[in-house]
Amino acid sequence: MSSALRQLYQDVIMEHSRNPRNVGKMDDANAEANGNNPLCGDKISVYVKLDREIIVDAKFDARGCAISVACASMMTEMLKGKTIQEAKGAYARFVDLLTSSDIPSIPKDEILSSLMGVREFPTRIKCATLPWQTLVAAIDGSAKIVTTE
């Protein structure tokens, strides 16, 4: 990865970490879950308002590293108005982006592509995926608490 591209990724992550979007508890959420990354100390709560299969609104509360907060911020921005299946598809593409031995193709305008730099730091992948794991647990109702370990 070029140094210019690495800097761009770092800038996007730092912007969302310092000025996260969609932060706060959602009183009218009809789906929520909590996530924990014991290795890094990240803790996140994800709140979702669903109307049938559509994510009408999404918010989060987090105490964690820059990567987990930035990923939660970008995720909540990206998923408003999407279906549950679209959200799960985005999660699968994101995991593939971070873990595949080949670099998967992701549209340049997709928010997820700004996180490609995390690939270079395998120990931080759990930080990046925690918000997504927590979101999936919330919309599936599969667990109230998820952990990366």
Tens digit of each residue's pLDDT, the chain (149 residues): 556 556 656 788 889 999 999 999 999 999 999 999 999 999 999 999 999 999 999 999 999 999 999 999 999 999 999 999 999 999 998 898 888 887 666 655 566 677 877 888 888 999 999 999 999 999 998 888 999 98
Domains contained in the chain, CATH given: 3-147 (3.90.1010.10)
* Confidence (pLDDT) at 37: 96
> Of 67, 32, 35, 66, whose CA–CA distance to 48 is shortest?
32
pLDDT of 103 = 67
pTM summary value: 0.89
Q: Are strands 31-37 and 42-51 parallel, antiparallel or unpaired?
A: antiparallel
Whether residue 30 contacts residue 141, with contact meaning beta carbons closer than 8 Å, is answered with no
**Residues 129, 112: contact at Cβ < 8 Å?**
no
pLDDT recorded at residue 7: 62
Q: What are phi and psi of 31, to 5 degrees?
A: -150, 135
Contacts 24+ apart (CB under 8 A), 83-91: 83/53, 83/54, 83/55, 84/50, 84/53, 84/54, 84/55, 84/139, 85/53, 87/55, 87/135, 87/136, 87/139, 88/136, 88/139, 91/132, 91/133, 91/135, 91/136
